[in-house]
């Protein structure tokens, strides 16, 4: 692989991780109750960032193989749903789950 492509991908992932962490911080601190991250944001990357922040798995609910609702608890015990779609790059969302 061309070294410039490799570096571009590495830098893009660093920026993406920063954006995800900022979104998770806003949810944790009550600045936002819902954030739409947009299309093509890797679901697994959001979970990885959340776990690094101390979020723990609460429950997993799966609709179909191509979409998922993953519930986590923040360090301050807020129940949060991470909703992602793997097919056709539909929008990925993080929101406070007031139904639990």
Name the pTM for this structure: 0.81
Which structure tokens are listed for 80?
Answer: 């949060």
Quick one: pLDDT at residue 85? Answer: 73
β 92-96/34-38 pair status? antiparallel
**Mean per-residue pLDDT, 18-29:** 96
Query: Which residues, in sequence order, are CB contacts of 40 under 8 Å at separation 6+?
Result: 89
**Mean per-residue pLDDT, 8-26:** 96
- The per-residue pLDDT for range 24-77, each reduced to its tens digit, is 999 999 999 999 998 878 888 898 999 999 999 887 665 555 677 889 999 999
Q: Which residues are bridge partners to 30 per DSSP?
A: none
Quick one: pLDDT at residue 40? Answer: 78
């Amino acid at each position: 692989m061309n070294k410039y492509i490799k570096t571009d991908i590495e830098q893009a992932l660093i920026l993406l991780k920063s954006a995800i962490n900022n979104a998770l911080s806003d949810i944790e601190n009550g600045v936002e109750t819902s954030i739409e991250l947009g299309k093509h944001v890797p679901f697994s990357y959001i979970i990885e960032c959340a776990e690094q922040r101390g979020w723990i798995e609460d429950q997993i609910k799966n609709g179909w193989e191509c979409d998922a609702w993953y519930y986590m608890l923040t360090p301050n015990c807020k129940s949060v749903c991470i909703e992602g779609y793997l097919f056709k790059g539909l929008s990925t969302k993080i929101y406070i789950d007031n139904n639990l």
